[in-house]
Amino acid sequence: MKNNFSERRSNLAHKVLDDSAIIVASASVKSRISDTDYAYRQDSNFYYLSGYEEPESLILIRPNHDNEKFIIFCRDRDPLREQWDGFRTGQEGAISEYGADASYSINSVDQLMPELLKGSKNIYFSMSSPCGIDSKINHWIEDIRKNMRAGAEPPENLLSLDSILHEMRLIKEDRELDIMKHAADITTEAHIRAMQAVTPGMFEYQLEAEYLYAFNKNGARSPAYNSIVGGGNNSCILHYVENNAELKDGDLVLVDAGCEYQYYASDVTRTFPVNGKFSPEQKEIYTIVLEAHKQSIEQAQPGNKWNLMHEKSVEVLVEGLLSLGLLNGSKEENIEKGLYSKFYMHRIGHWLGMDVHDVGAYKKDGDWRELEKGMVMTIEPGIYILDSLKDVDDKWKGIGVRIEDNIVINDSGNEFLTPDVPRTIEEVEQTVQG
């Protein structure tokens, strides 16, 4: 499908004040050890507006200019460096392949930018994007000021681009949804593959390998975040990423793993029995979490406030924990005093998109915002019963369950991006038993 980068820049142009210039910098390269960098990943805001993937780049958008509305500063072509580090588009490619009206060497940015910003009353820049761009902008404005007596007019306002851009990114275009569905499909295949592979005695990292294989094999070059593969008590540690313990017969394993495909994330958790059969206690906990998952998703409707899904999850989880004797007292008291939080200590989910915890405000004017068509989110209730918890019967200890799916709000309700990841007890057991 045709890319929408220029359409996005036009949409953005309508949302900023007149006489504005918009500046976004690329992500920087991060060194891992000598001569070896972390895999480069372009900044999401930068990519969203340009599609340009090279580091040491910067875009300048000037909607009110007749020419040179969209400028890319980028690295120069360099045959020697390209032999070592890979192809560069250079300025010519930035124009021909990425639709820039003009392109200049990144080495000349300090020299050219003051001239290019002259006459723009407002400068928008992404505070959430990297590279210390704010201090560079201050230098460029300082250079314009030096020429005021010669008639130069420095910009008057420095403004954050983030709220405007993040609102755009929050509502997904059809093209973005197609990519996200593809990411979700790859992640679905990975979870099924892992469920079929798991067996007692395997190490958590070996199960992780099944995910990485399925991601890469299907064109997703990396996970969207560090995969969490926790067996037994490790399933209760929310950000467990050591993934180095042995998976034991009788334990559950919780896997929170999703791929990034063409800059879009998927984020799916499944919890399954290492030996293929849930124990009665594991089944009880799983059933409660699944019910919370189901009832929370019913709240994911256009016009409903974001918070309703979370409140529903708390209600269902508390009812379940009370029925098992893991909580005592009244439902109201447990909710009001947050007594459930030793078992459920995170919220129901988050926006999902180019970033796994995607951009976009959750509140507007102090109140939870309403859901709208095109918003993509995770739903991920869980119950975690750490070994070390006091006043808990031993039979529950070391059980951690989270069930996480990705949904998109549509006209009439919502749709799963991940409908086919085994979810019910029967589906999960059947898949693991293979």
Residues interacting with ligand GLY, by CB under 6 A?
A: 225, 256, 267, 350, 356, 380, 404
Of 272, 280, 298, 255, nearest to 414 by C-alpha is: 298
Catalytic residue selected from 267, 284, 358, 405: 267
88 vs 293, beta carbon nearer ligand GLY: 293
Residue 89 DSSP symbol: -
Strand duo 122-125 + 157-160: pairing:
parallel
208 vs 404, beta carbon nearer ligand GLY: 404
Q: Known catalytic residue: 426?
A: no
Catalytic residue selected from 65, 145, 193, 346: 346
Residues 396 and 285: their CA atoms lie apart, in Å, by: 9
60 vs 354, beta carbon nearer ligand GLY: 354
| 378 near Mn ion (CB under 5 A) | yes
Of 163, 166, 165, 158, nearest to 136 by C-alpha is: 158
Q: Nearest approach, Cβ of 229 to ligand GLY (angstroms)?
A: 12
**CA distances (Å), 332 to each of 154, 287, 340, 391, in order?**
59, 22, 11, 21
Main-chain phi, psi angles of 36, to 5 degrees: -135, 125
Q: How many CB atoms lie within 10 A of CB 282?
A: 21
Q: Known catalytic residue: 166?
A: no
Burial of 325 by CB count in 10 Å (0-12 exposed, 13-18 middle, 19+ buried)? exposed
Residues 398 and 390: their CA atoms lie apart, in Å, by: 13
Q: Nearest approach, Cβ of 270 to ligand GLY (angstroms)?
A: 12
Binding segment toward Mn ion, per CB under 5 A, in 39-47, 333-341, 375-383, 416-424 = 375-383
Residue 189 binds what, of ligand GLY, Mn ion, none (CB under 5 to 8 Å, by partner type)?
A: none
Catalytic residue selected from 41, 65, 77, 350: 350
Q: Known catalytic residue: 139?
A: no
| 256 near Mn ion (CB under 5 A) | yes
137 vs 236, beta carbon nearer ligand GLY: 236
Q: Nearest approach, Cβ of 256 to ligand GLY (angstroms)?
A: 5
Burial of 408 by CB count in 10 Å (0-12 exposed, 13-18 middle, 19+ buried)? buried
CA Rg value for the chain: 25
Q: Known catalytic residue: 14?
A: no
Catalytic residue selected from 56, 310, 384, 405: 384
Residue 125 binds what, of Mn ion, ligand GLY, none (CB under 5 to 8 Å, by partner type)?
A: none
Binding segment toward Mn ion, per CB under 5 A, in 42-50, 90-98, 168-176, 371-379 = 371-379
Q: Nearest approach, Cβ of 211 to ligand GLY (angstroms)?
A: 12
Of 132, 140, 139, nearest to 113 by C-alpha is: 140
Q: Nearest approach, Cβ of 35 to Mn ion (angstroms)?
A: 33
Helix 174-197 / helix 425-433 crossing angle, nearest 10 deg: 60
Q: Known catalytic residue: 239?
A: yes
Binding segment toward Mn ion, per CB under 5 A, in 144-152, 199-207, 264-272, 309-317 = 264-272
**CA distances (Å), 43 to each of 163, 164, 263, 312, 395, in order?**
16, 16, 10, 35, 46
Catalytic residue selected from 256, 260, 355, 405: 256
Residues 188 and 195: their CA atoms lie apart, in Å, by: 11
Main-chain phi, psi angles of 189, to 5 degrees: -60, -40
Catalytic residue selected from 18, 32, 35, 336: 35
Catalytic residue selected from 48, 355, 402, 405: 402
Q: Known catalytic residue: 391?
A: no
Buried residues in 165-194 as b, exposed as e (16+ CB within 10 A): bbebbbebbeebbebbbbbbbbbbbbbbbb
Q: Nearest approach, Cβ of 226 to ligand GLY (angstroms)?
A: 8
- Interacting residue with Mn ion among 260, 267, 284, 405 (CB under 5 A): 267
Give the three-class secondary structure for 278: coil
Residues 47 and 235: their CA atoms lie apart, in Å, by: 35
Q: How many CB atoms lie within 10 A of CB 414?
A: 22
Here's the x/- map for Mn ion, 390-429, by CB under 5 A: it reads as: --------------x-------------------------
Q: Known catalytic residue: 346?
A: yes
Residue 225 binds what, of ligand GLY, Mn ion, none (CB under 5 to 8 Å, by partner type)?
A: ligand GLY
Q: Known catalytic residue: 53?
A: no
Catalytic residue selected from 14, 66, 239, 365: 239
Q: Nearest approach, Cβ of 407 to Mn ion (angstroms)?
A: 12
Q: Known catalytic residue: 174?
A: no
90 vs 382, beta carbon nearer Mn ion: 382
Q: Nearest approach, Cβ of 356 to ligand GLY (angstroms)?
A: 6
Q: Which residues are annotated as catalytic?
A: 35, 239, 256, 267, 346, 350, 357, 380, 384, 402, 404
The contact set with Mn ion (CB under 5 A) reads: 256, 267, 378, 404
